[in-house]
Structure 1
Amino acid sequence: MSTQIAMNCATDANNCSDNSAKLGQLSECLLKLNSLWQVKAFDCQQLPWSEQFPCLAAKVWAIADTDIEALDVAQGALVSALLPSLMQDMQQLGMKIDGLAAMLSTSTNGDVSLTRPEPKSFEAHAVEIGLSDTELSHFSAHIKGRKWQQITAFSAHIPKGNPIVEWCAGKGHLGRYIAKTHQVKVSSLEWQQSLCEQGQQFADKWQLSQQFHCVDVFNLANSTLGANPLSSEQHAIALHACGDLHVRLLELAAQANTKQISFSPCCYHLIQANYYQPLSHAAKNSGLKLSRHDLQLPLQQSVIANDKQQALRHQEIAWRLGFDSLQRDISGNDRYLPIPSVKRSQLSASFSDFCYWAGAQKQVNIGAVTDFDAYLAQGVARQRLTQRIDLVAHLFRHALEQWLLLDRMCFLQQQGYQVTMVEFCANEITPRNWLIQAEKLT
């Protein structure tokens, strides 16, 4: 073994150990404080943790309703507002968690690169791709603005060289851009035939070396690509592959010893199992058990809406919870009863009309109900309660996402990959802006 390879192996072993240690610290944090975030707000009639964390309870009730949205949208402000009260309660409980503030905030450790490529102008992209402004307009016409920004930012981190396999390609917008900019062969895998056909038409129109394959990556028994569509001398990429889809990519890439992997995870809760199946040794040994509901936490970040949108959203939640209080009294069911999607026009009618509609949807006979105003008042009170339960749970959305990302990094390191993580674009473009990159060690 050469000195350079030996140094690389030693460095990777250290990084693996470091990431496992960080995952362990996050596990301790999430387990000790799980009563604050492993909670279903719509099931609750009061703050479920108020007796254990009285200072935190007092703090969240002291926050004005009008200030909650602004706090929720900014993780740093949220941590600054709630952490002192939480720490006070923890001190009373004799509970200590080292580095708690850093784990809850969006600041990251020095091993994670926050360097993002400078966004390019439309004209600069046209020059890079070798198209006129008009041609580039046609090239990007079917891609929404933020998606285009995500694609170009993601692509800036993809080195030229190995053939590309685009995972969960859809219409292959990412693969098409990379095929054009990197002048490399791209194989785009997508299970929906119609999307494959549309994507292939785009690729053929621009005379690109991009070939679509209609394949179900969970059922490869009869696939024309064989039991594993990946091979060693490839670079597998996935931008926002959901849940089990990106996990499947990691498993197959590891089996095939795929040279390079670049992926941005999304929608962790879209899994087939009822509970999350950890990938790495460190995660498996953590003791943390995550339901699909828990896995939605990293995705819960408010976007400040205008006053009318915000008022309508609060009204709908209050009405849903008001009906839920009503159905609990009628049926004796003490758990939240979800109802179908609500049309905006229904919110222009009366609350009683809404309840009759919801009752018909869920076979709840509300004919004997007369005091709808009392249930509406309960709904409004519960809406204010759920806001505060969710606000505290959101303290942990960054910590949980980092835990999930580290599980993927540790798994890849166990498979013999050198792994890094970068924040590939600004949070304003997409909150799912983490890019994990892995290269097989030789």
Structure 2
Amino acid sequence: MTGLSGQPLSLEEQKQLAVNITHVLSLYGSIVDSYVIEFFTDNLWEKLPYSWQAVLTDLPSPQLAAVLLEKGKPEEVCYSVVWPLSLLAFKATAHTLAFSRTPRGRGGTSANGRPEEFRENRCQSSKLNPLFRKHVKPKKQHEIWQLGKLSETPKAAAVVTVGVFPFKGHLSRFLAFGLGLSVTAIEGDGRLVDMATKFDRELVWALEKEQARRAQVDGVSLRGPSHVAGWVDPQAPWQEFLLPPRLLLTGLHACGDLSVALLRHFTRCPHVVAMTSVPTPPGLYGYPLSAWVAGLPGHALSYKAREVACHAVEDYVLRLRSESCVLRTHCYRAMLETLIRAADPAKRRLGVQTINKAHQLAFEEYARLGLQRVGLDSTAPLDRACVDTMLAQQQNIVAFFSLALLLAPLVETLILLDRMIYLQEQGFQCQLIPLFNPSFSPRNLVLVAAKAGLDSVLSTLAGED
């Protein structure tokens, strides 16, 4: 990851950035730690500085996106009123300290808002052989092409991919059939392993059919991946599938402790020479990993902070810009929480089963379904005046959630810094690269590590369109 100079951050600069982020989170962590469903029960709006309330109250969603979440030049932002310096500083600091998601020199965006590879067909990547596009959504096509080409670079004899879900072996299939690599794909769910194996057979059948018509299909191998049903434990030593010499470990959106397992096996297993990982915020064992971050005052992150860091700010900005009716569900769920606690104060933050198209329902119907889902009486009449008063707060709830999302990239940056510092503490080279098109695939930061020769991987990336 590069700094303002365009050069990679040194270890000391990474440590200072971690210090700065922990300081900011110590000041404003109560926002990111708050549950928006408790907006009414815990009076969250009144916990904001009064000067913030004054400028954010009833601010339209498109303006919230423009003046708060989107990172633009100050002269490009139009404020309807004068904002307090504390809120301007909060916004500027959050944008400045978070890692950038903008790739450098890796292709543009076409007129339809998608990467250039979808210029001709918005659902089919021009870079990916049609054989590898079956069952794969456009976003995943973009990701497996980019990560696959990156995984091709390290001089490894074999590749181990971890976590087939939700890609059902698409990455491992491209690496094996498309790039001719020796691939072992590990997935904990045997049903997904069976599905991935089925898709492999479909591809081989299609390939053989094509070869019967022509002499050969360029750039496609008949050797597929080996699928293994198994668990990669971050606390356990490497298993038999990590024993072949010179392995590359790779994971695409490996959730929770799975991405941490990749890091631990990379550092501990002598056979693993390189790693590429598109991580998500960690689970039980994932943070902190580095001794440096563990020693920082205020480094602890709540479960809620890690959960917020999983949200894609770019997707929420699109909802704000379009004033999506889906935004109403924030208010509905917070109102439902007041009804739940009124009926039974011991019930807090219950997991309410998803109510289909909740934003299209009247609140009365939403409340009836929601109360049923948590086993409470849904027949009691609602106080209409109280309902209307809370509904009138919808835009303030959206504003509060937007403030939390503004901090989400800082939480993610701190977690990724911790992982980078951890790898360097172990004596290994690493870099964080914004690999995917962020408007198309917001979770686009890829952690690349090697025990030797990381420069060759990065030089290959620099040469990509």
* Alpha-carbon distance in 1 for matches of 2:247, 2:289: 23
Point out where structure 2 has 5 or more consecutive residues left out of the alignment. Answer: 1-8, 109-114, 208-221, 454-465
Mapped contact 2:161–2:184 kept (Cα < 8 A): yes
CA RMSD of aligned residues (A): 4.0
Matched, 1:247 2:260: yes
* Alpha-carbon distance in 1 for matches of 2:52, 2:310: 23
* Alpha-carbon distance in 2 for matches of 1:292, 1:320: 20
Q: CA deviation at 1:310?
A: 2.4
What residue in structure 2 maps to residue 432 of structure 1?
443
Q: CA deviation at 1:385?
A: 3.0
CA gap 1:138/1:388 in 2 versus in 1, 3 angstroms? same
Task: Write the deviation string for residues 265-292 of structure 1: whole angstroms up to 9, x where unpaired.
Answer: 12x25x246xx63111122112322222
* Alpha-carbon distance in 1 for matches of 2:10, 2:99: 21
Bigger Cα displacement from structure 2, 158-167 vs 139-148: 158-167
Matched, 1:56 2:52: yes
Q: Percent identity?
A: 19
TM-score of the superposition, structure 1-length normalised?
0.77
- Given candidates 208, 211, 231, the residue that maps to 2:223 is 208
Where 2:309 maps in the other structure, the secondary structure is helix
Q: CA deviation at 1:263?
A: 0.7
* Alpha-carbon distance in 2 for matches of 1:306, 1:29: 25
Q: CA deviation at 1:353?
A: 4.2
Mapped contact 2:232–2:261 kept (Cα < 8 A): yes
CA gap 1:260/1:63 in 2 versus in 1, 3 angstroms? same
CA gap 1:183/1:217 in 2 versus in 1, 3 angstroms? same
Q: CA deviation at 1:147?
A: 0.5
Matched, 1:375 2:386: yes
* Alpha-carbon distance in 2 for matches of 1:176, 1:148: 12
Task: Write the deviation string for residues 376-404 of structure 1: whole angstroms up to 9, x where unpaired.
Answer: 21431443332121111122122111111
Matched, 1:236 2:233: no
What residue in structure 1 maps to residue 136 of structure 2?
143
CA gap 1:90/1:184 in 2 versus in 1, 3 angstroms? closer
CA gap 1:398/1:141 in 2 versus in 1, 3 angstroms? same
- Given candidates 187, 190, 193, the residue that maps to 1:193 is 190
* Alpha-carbon distance in 2 for matches of 1:173, 1:51: 47
Q: CA deviation at 1:137?
A: 2.2
- Given candidates 86, 89, 108, the residue that maps to 1:88 is 86
CA gap 1:262/1:355 in 2 versus in 1, 3 angstroms? closer
Bigger Cα displacement from structure 2, 298-307 vs 316-325: 298-307
Bigger Cα displacement from structure 2, 61-70 vs 156-165: 61-70
* Alpha-carbon distance in 1 for matches of 2:84, 2:347: 29
Letter in 2 for 1:34: G
Number of aligned residues: 405
What residue in structure 2 maps to residue 262 of structure 1?
276
Where 2:300 maps in the other structure, the secondary structure is coil
Q: How does 1:153-168 map to 2 (within 5 A)?
A: 153-158=146-151, 159=153, 161-162=155-156, 163-168=158-163
Bigger Cα displacement from structure 2, 199-208 vs 153-162: 199-208
Task: Write the deviation string for residues 171-199 of structure 1: whole angstroms up to 9, x where unpaired.
Answer: 32112212244322111111222332333
What residue in structure 1 maps to residue 35 of structure 2?
40
Mapped contact 1:238–1:262 kept (Cα < 8 A): yes
Mapped contact 1:59–1:85 kept (Cα < 8 A): yes
Matched, 1:114 2:104: yes
Matched, 1:293 2:287: no
Point out where structure 1 has 5 or more consecutive residues left out of the alignment. Answer: 1-13, 92-96, 130-135
Mapped contact 2:18–2:417 kept (Cα < 8 A): yes
Task: Write the deviation string for residues 28-64 of structure 1: whole angstroms up to 9, x where unpaired.
Answer: 2222222332221221337647566332222211623
What residue in structure 2 maps to residue 5 of structure 1?
none
* Alpha-carbon distance in 2 for matches of 1:81, 1:292: 35
CA gap 1:147/1:386 in 2 versus in 1, 3 angstroms? same
